[in-house]
Structure 1
Amino acid sequence: MPGRLLLLLVIICLFPAAHGALNDEKRAMIQELFPKATEIRDKLPDYPVYPVYQLQERLGYAYESLDLSRLQGFAGKPISMLIGLDTRGRFTGVRILSHHEPVFLHGLGEEPLLEFIDQYEGRSLTEQIIVDTSGSGSGTDADGNVVRFDGVSKATVSVLIINDTVLSSALKVAREKLDGFTQEAATRARTDLYQPLSWQQLVDRGYLGHWKVSPEAVEAKLGAPLSAYPEGPQPEPGEPFTELFFGYINAPMVGRNLLGDEGFERLKERIGPGAQIMAVMSRGAYPHVSDDFTPGSSPGRLGLQQNNLSLEIRDINVFHQNIAISIDGMPDMAAATLFRVGGNAGFNPGADASLKLNVTLRKNHLVADNTELDIPVDFADELFETVEVAARPEDNRPPVWIGLWKDRWLTIAVLVAGLAVLTVFFARQRTLSRHPKLIHRFRWGFLFFTLFFIGFYAQGQLSVVNIYTLFLSIWDGFSLNVFLMDPVLFILWTYTFITLFIWGRGLFCGWLCPFGALQEMAAWLGEKLKFRQIKVSDKWHRRLIVLKYPILLVLVGTAFYSLELAEKLVEVEPFKTSITLFFVRSWPFVVYAVGLLVIGMFIHKFYCRYLCPLGAGLAVLGKLRLFSWLDRVELCGKPCQHCKNSCGINAIRKDGRIDYNECIQCLECVVILKDEDQCVDKVLQKKRQRQAGILATDAG
């Protein structure tokens, strides 16, 4: 017994060391991140990093992102990375350990992912790194401090999650282990400090920062007179090159005096409780923003640093919302801006910081000189109070998804408007169905909107991947932030889920599925080309429509067993090939997707009816619908079969009942039912009316 206890104690003592020990593969990867390393130590017991040395000199640290950040990726699982950070806060490289991002695994391939993470090498935490998915390429902004990474346009969510994971985890390591990155005690604005003050009183008491530079000082830094830059600003005699005023708006002493009580309250409602706002005003020949500055964006001329870290500053563009800087004694300004301050690095308003004004002057269209002016930011201490217990600023930063929604506001607005129009149309379908041409034109117009805007442009193709991602998220600990990362998909899923209980699955499958719209167009083309249209018999149709349900069960079940296998099996959906990648993919996937469309030219919506696991999942939920909107009359199916014969997907049974599990709500049967020349019931009614009229005439 004593021997067993001794063995147990030895195992317990050795477990932490074994847990932090490096295997050969990981050691080799760290060696790649630090080529000059002569010693790579095991993970520290007090902090999850691997110290790296060249002889006795510490080169930096390597660490695994999962130890410091578990932000879920698009597939609902975190992206695991090995990251190198030198002692000066520069990235030595990033390596992917594992991930489950579908667009890279079975779509674009790994190459775009590797090209994206390669951009971190040599970049510093003192730079403000922004992912640009517009396709304009990577580079450094004019201020030399904002670095734009070339994102992956079809994998926006994935690369933004990677960037947030890399930066937030690196900040934690830097603040814990690197000199010069430690934080002072956290502070916040005192809400009880306020008295009405004039502009000059705010400046004199240090509540507003003030900094001025003369033309001569700028000439000294440039090493050339301003007259050598004919395209640059030429100050008038006695005019400063630039003069800046700046203040922390969250402090009521500053915000209430500059904006007024009503303006200050409006701003607080507009920005929310967690946002930090700094006002910057300037006059002189060279203001802090250029003439072509775009409201709502980050300035090219001005940056902000604190603790050797670059902080994100972005104009909040609220001066058109009854919010204005107006205070007695304020001089005329060339520019005034309210900036949201923060980003991954956070902002401690009571600690020293510095504004960086980048001065770029052109001698001609080819040659330009550049210099940077440091502006100390040190507000009066009485504006702030120390926060005794507070999370680190990076833990209180706004979620990544908020920026994504703001960046895509126009797409969101168009999508919401389209969904609103569709909702009104469906709510009034019984009235509108009296106008067959209107119904047909609206349907085809909306299908084009779905394919080209929702699908190709906004990348709003829902997938069964979203279903098992939801289940995995619930299994591992649900977080709504994962689903908010893609605003288009979130809005479509929310709308689809709500309408399932009103109209059933047909509203999405028949109107909002981009691949479904593509199939409709393929079927129309097949008819125009006079391809023989194959009608599947009722017997085989009833057997085949069941196929999609076991496909759904296999995919969802496999996701819990092996996410990697599920990611391969989900290629039963042709959505990624056709909608996400525009058929630019390896030939087997293209052949499969095109083959389904070709089959659809002979058998109407073959994939939707028999194979689609997403349609199966929606059909299951659609059973909970509250209404049956599609009218039937006594003669439907008894004996009239006109609607059944006209239904392209065979969602009407012989007895006239509508199979809502299969119906795509195309409204063709409703149009027939309202048409006095097509509906047998209406034709018979007209016939009886004519006969009654004849009899009445004869009797008269």
Structure 2
Amino acid sequence: MAGRFAPLLFLLLLVPTLSGAELTDSRRALIQSLFPAATVIEDKLPDVPVYPVYQLQELLGYAYESTDLSRLQGFAGKPIQMMIGLDTQGRFTGVKILHHHEPVFLHGLGEEPLFDFVDQYEGRSLREQIVVQSSLSGKSGKSAEGDVVYFDGVSKATVSVLIVNDTVLSSALKVARQKLEAFAQSAPTRAKPDWFEPLGWQQLIDRGYVSRTRIEVDAVEQQLGRPLSDYPADLTPPDGEAFTELYLAYMNSPMVGRNLLGDEHYARFMARLGENDQVLMVASRGMFRHVRDSFTPGSSPDRIGLTQNNLSVEMRDLNWLDQNFRLQADGLPGFDAVNLFRVGGNAGFNPGAEASLKLNVELARNHLIADTANFTLPVQFAGDLFETVAIAESPETSREPVWVGLWKERWWQISLLVAGLAVLTVFFARQKTLSRHPTLVHRFRWGFLFFTLSFIGFYAQGQLSVVNIYTLLLALWDGFTLDVFLLDPVLFILWSYTFVTLFIWGRGLFCGWLCPFGALQEMAAWLGQKLRLRQIRVPEHWHRRLILLKYPILLGLVGTAFYSLTLAEQLAEVEPFKTSITLVFWRYWPFVAYAIGLLVVGMFIHKFYCRYLCPLGAGLAVLGRFRLFSWLERIERCGSPCQHCKNECGINAIRKDGRIDYDECIQCLECVVILRDDQQCVDSIVRDKQQRKHQRQARILATDASV
């Protein structure tokens, strides 16, 4: 047997081709695991970078590496490399992770949650709409309603798994459209921009500009196998009326949109849409609506689904219709439900091509048993609404970027964060006035620290890290793109705010007010004082040397990132942020011991980690040297002779001569409060004594003069 294959092996070794070199034994074994029945795995094709997989002469499907078809960057700024199997019916045979740099999996949660997530793709089809839910969602992870399939996400790694999902779907779509006949695209179309004439509701229907479909009671009862009167919620309509009547309209078309909304509302409607957004109106009348009574505005419907070219088209409610923005065509009937859905997703949507609307009717016989009836309804609008586009846009440019969906999903977190930053900005801008009220300043500071720790840190996962600096520098090195930084809106807003304020107030605004671990250290220091633990003040000469430690740590980490990102991410564990804030101390015990140890030390030495070890603080301090203002006021007696502010400064950012060390200052404003307090500031006390002395002397002189 070995002799028979020896010549072949010799030729392969003697004349290695590029494709043959790529199909290594390990890669072949990996593809075999995706297609267990495979007997032949061919080399990568030259036209489309996929590996054809056969069982004897029968094509089973294709395997491919995700980075050959999608370069979407992960959270760490590098693509997540996967091997993906797709059979000839457009079903995933499996997804395997080859390589990635996602910090939360490599050095936090471990890789098992990531592997569990990608295992959910096996057996799922491109015909289904896959929606990633957080692990706290009420939806079942692998349940499906119609063509919508809900995947369990990873709550601490939402961005990473959404990137995985987008990479898997977009790359599989490219393969399917080029290699699977059933998924071939029709000629792309778009609405004619100047096609319009005033029409009423019935005229729009008669000309095929609005699609209407009736589903009769007999058809529903035939599929259910029993009369509607058998169900507790009797949905039997009056004689002659349909079970449900559905209407669809392509709102981007001026002929449709202008007639249904009116000129003014249509102009507002189009102004609110993105460049590539497409919208369908879906309305229903009758006993059964196209959305449930409990439908959540802004979400995807579960009673209806749209497919085109055998692909599931994403539908998401815009929630725009209200008393100020409504349908108003002449002769418009009353609807029981009407929605505007943004359509497209990875599959895109071709408005001039035929599509199908799937309606899922589910009726409960009792609290345990429900019957279902499924209808596939053709959707085809009149051809004169559209014109053919000469060159089709690629799915990468025609669909909504991943980060846009993330920003929409987290809108309330963004709103609360922006409001908090606005309040903080006003407070800092008026610090000289507000610092005259010490109680107000102290209460505001502690209230904001709790907001930073609980909301920004634990809930919104807004802990900035030196790893973000790696990402920025590597992005600049490899070719900058803003998309990777927009993937996490909370981090993007915090970084943008921090960068701007570095040139106004220096590093202290972030380090003293917006760093969740910094807030945790403040609380640890407060607890240490309440427990009457001995507070250690590092001698001045040692303090001045130790504060320099964080700078070589920063340089070492950044330099390592250009040599090995994986090693740099491991060394970044000098930051306890991931353990304490991201994973809330639920981690392998040495990491937890390190983070807790820093907090315990902080109970004796105020903010020990911030002062001496934090590489992020070092980087911010360097940029903070370019600040435009020195807001913390100093007066003549500060440092000579008065040392009160220096003694009260927990972080020891005031020198003996009274100067503020802005590289170390966390802008706690305690020195400003002291300066404004007549009972604490030595200068005020001395001036008050002098004033009283002068007043006494004046009274004595006045008395002598009167005598």
TM-score tier, shorter chain, comes to over 0.9
**Structure 1 residues 301-312: aligned runs within 5 Å:** 301-312=303-314
Q: Which residue of 2 aligns with 1:551?
A: 553
Check conservation: 2:464, 2:491, Cα contact below 8 A: yes
**Structure 1 residues 118-197: aligned runs within 5 Å:** 118-136=119-137, 138-139=140-141, 143-197=145-199
- Name structure 1 gaps, 5 residues minimum: 1-9
Give the distance between the partners of 1:18 and 1:315, measured in 2 at CA.
Answer: 48
Give the distance between the partners of 1:526 and 1:377, measured in 2 at CA.
Answer: 69
Q: Which residue of 2 aligns with 1:339?
A: 341
Q: Could you say what secondary structure the match of 2:284 adopts?
A: strand
- Name structure 2 gaps, 5 residues minimum: 1-11, 703-707
Give the distance between the partners of 1:563 and 1:12, measured in 2 at CA.
Answer: 36
Q: Could you say what secondary structure the match of 1:533 adopts?
A: coil
1:270 Cα deviation (Å)?
1.4
Q: Could you say what secondary structure the match of 2:552 adopts?
A: helix
1:94 Cα deviation (Å)?
0.4
Give the distance between the partners of 1:392 and 1:539, measured in 2 at CA.
Answer: 63
Pick aligned residue for 2:517 from 500, 515, 518: 515
Give the distance between the partners of 1:394 and 1:204, measured in 2 at CA.
Answer: 37
Q: Which residue of 2 aligns with 1:666?
A: 668
Give the distance between the partners of 1:341 and 1:141, measured in 2 at CA.
Answer: 22
Give the distance between the partners of 1:344 and 1:102, measured in 2 at CA.
Answer: 26
**Structure 1 residues 225-244: aligned runs within 5 Å:** 225-244=227-246
Check conservation: 2:601, 2:608, Cα contact below 8 A: yes
Give the distance between the partners of 2:676 and 2:545, measured in 1 at CA.
Answer: 32
Give the distance between the partners of 1:232 and 1:40, measured in 2 at CA.
Answer: 57
Q: Does 1:420 align with 2:422?
A: yes
Q: Which residue of 2 aligns with 1:465?
A: 467
Q: Does 1:210 align with 2:206?
A: no
Question: Cα gap change, 1:541/1:244 in structure 2, threshold over 3 Å: closer, same or farther?
Answer: same
Check conservation: 2:142, 2:152, Cα contact below 8 A: no
Q: Which residue of 2 aligns with 1:617?
A: 619
Q: Deviations over 1:177-210 (max 9, x none)?
A: 0121000111000011100001111100011101
Check conservation: 1:30, 1:62, Cα contact below 8 A: yes
Question: Cα gap change, 1:377/1:623 in structure 2, threshold over 3 Å: closer, same or farther?
Answer: same
Question: Cα gap change, 1:502/1:232 in structure 2, threshold over 3 Å: closer, same or farther?
Answer: farther
Q: Could you say what secondary structure the match of 1:106 adopts?
A: helix
Q: Deviations over 1:307-346 (max 9, x none)?
A: 0000100110111373211111111111111100000100
Give the distance between the partners of 1:32 and 1:679, measured in 2 at CA.
Answer: 75
Alignment-mate amino acid for residue 334 of structure 2: D
**Structure 1 residues 382-461: aligned runs within 5 Å:** 382-461=384-463
Q: Which residue of 2 aligns with 1:629?
A: 631
1:14 Cα deviation (Å)?
5.5
Alignment-mate amino acid for residue 324 of structure 2: N
Question: Cα gap change, 1:341/1:407 in structure 2, threshold over 3 Å: closer, same or farther?
Answer: same
Check conservation: 1:231, 1:364, Cα contact below 8 A: no
Alignment-mate amino acid for residue 74 of structure 1: F
Q: Which residue of 1 aligns with 2:5?
A: none
Question: Cα gap change, 1:394/1:126 in structure 2, threshold over 3 Å: closer, same or farther?
Answer: farther
Q: Could you say what secondary structure the match of 2:71 adopts?
A: coil
1:630 Cα deviation (Å)?
0.3
Q: Deviations over 1:449-500 (max 9, x none)?
A: 1001110011100000000100001111111110111011011001101110
Q: Could you say what secondary structure the match of 1:180 adopts?
A: helix
Q: Does 1:95 align with 2:63?
A: no
Check conservation: 1:62, 1:84, Cα contact below 8 A: yes
1:651 Cα deviation (Å)?
0.3
1:231 Cα deviation (Å)?
2.4
**Structure 1 residues 545-624: aligned runs within 5 Å:** 545-624=547-626
Alignment-mate amino acid for residue 380 of structure 1: A
1:55 Cα deviation (Å)?
0.7
Give the distance between the partners of 2:606 and 2:43, measured in 1 at CA.
Answer: 62
Q: Could you say what secondary structure the match of 1:191 adopts?
A: coil
% identity of equivalent residues: 71
Check conservation: 2:95, 2:121, Cα contact below 8 A: yes
Q: Which residue of 2 aligns with 1:5?
A: none
Give the distance between the partners of 1:207 and 1:14, measured in 2 at CA.
Answer: 59
Check conservation: 2:146, 2:304, Cα contact below 8 A: no
Check conservation: 1:447, 1:517, Cα contact below 8 A: yes
**Structure 1 residues 77-96: aligned runs within 5 Å:** 77-96=78-97
Give the distance between the partners of 2:444 and 2:404, measured in 1 at CA.
Answer: 34
Question: Cα gap change, 1:425/1:322 in structure 2, threshold over 3 Å: closer, same or farther?
Answer: same
Q: Could you say what secondary structure the match of 2:183 adopts?
A: coil
Q: Could you say what secondary structure the match of 2:573 adopts?
A: helix
Q: Does 1:53 align with 2:54?
A: yes
Q: Could you say what secondary structure the match of 1:556 adopts?
A: helix
Q: Which residue of 1 aligns with 2:39?
A: 38
Check conservation: 2:560, 2:568, Cα contact below 8 A: yes
Give the distance between the partners of 2:652 and 2:294, measured in 1 at CA.
Answer: 59
Q: Which residue of 2 aligns with 1:319?
A: 321
Check conservation: 1:145, 1:303, Cα contact below 8 A: yes
Please tell me the root mean square deviation across aligned C-alpha atoms, in Å. Answer: 1.4
Give the distance between the partners of 1:197 and 1:313, measured in 2 at CA.
Answer: 27
Q: Could you say what secondary structure the match of 1:201 adopts?
A: helix
Q: Given the two structures, how large is their TM-score scaled by the length of structure 1? A: 0.97
Q: Could you say what secondary structure the match of 1:655 adopts?
A: coil
Q: Which residue of 2 aligns with 1:497?
A: 499
Q: Which residue of 2 aligns with 1:286?
A: 288
Q: Which residue of 1 aligns with 2:489?
A: 487
1:295 Cα deviation (Å)?
1.1
Alignment-mate amino acid for residue 645 of structure 1: N
Q: Which residue of 2 aligns with 1:537?
A: 539
1:273 Cα deviation (Å)?
2.1
Q: Which residue of 2 aligns with 1:25?
A: 26
Check conservation: 1:53, 1:60, Cα contact below 8 A: yes
Alignment-mate amino acid for residue 77 of structure 1: K
1:15 Cα deviation (Å)?
4.5
Question: Cα gap change, 1:56/1:104 in structure 2, threshold over 3 Å: closer, same or farther?
Answer: same
**Structure 1 residues 267-278: aligned runs within 5 Å:** 267-278=269-280
Q: Could you say what secondary structure the match of 1:291 adopts?
A: coil
Give the distance between the partners of 1:434 and 1:182, measured in 2 at CA.
Answer: 71
1:245 Cα deviation (Å)?
1.0
1:11 Cα deviation (Å)?
13
Give the distance between the partners of 1:601 and 1:17, measured in 2 at CA.
Answer: 61
1:234 Cα deviation (Å)?
2.5
Give the distance between the partners of 2:562 and 2:166, measured in 1 at CA.
Answer: 27
Q: Given the two structures, how large is their TM-score scaled by the length of structure 2? A: 0.96
Check conservation: 1:141, 1:300, Cα contact below 8 A: no
Q: Which residue of 1 aligns with 2:697?
A: 695
Q: Does 1:251 align with 2:253?
A: yes
Check conservation: 1:500, 1:622, Cα contact below 8 A: yes
1:142 Cα deviation (Å)?
6.3
Alignment-mate amino acid for residue 62 of structure 2: Y
Question: Cα gap change, 1:558/1:394 in structure 2, threshold over 3 Å: closer, same or farther?
Answer: closer
Give the distance between the partners of 2:638 and 2:676, measured in 1 at CA.
Answer: 13
Alignment-mate amino acid for residue 658 of structure 1: I
Pick aligned residue for 2:267 from 265, 273, 280: 265
Check conservation: 2:300, 2:317, Cα contact below 8 A: yes
Check conservation: 1:266, 1:323, Cα contact below 8 A: no
Q: Could you say what secondary structure the match of 2:457 adopts?
A: helix
Give the distance between the partners of 1:616 and 1:395, measured in 2 at CA.
Answer: 39
Alignment-mate amino acid for residue 545 of structure 2: R
1:390 Cα deviation (Å)?
2.7
1:397 Cα deviation (Å)?
0.5
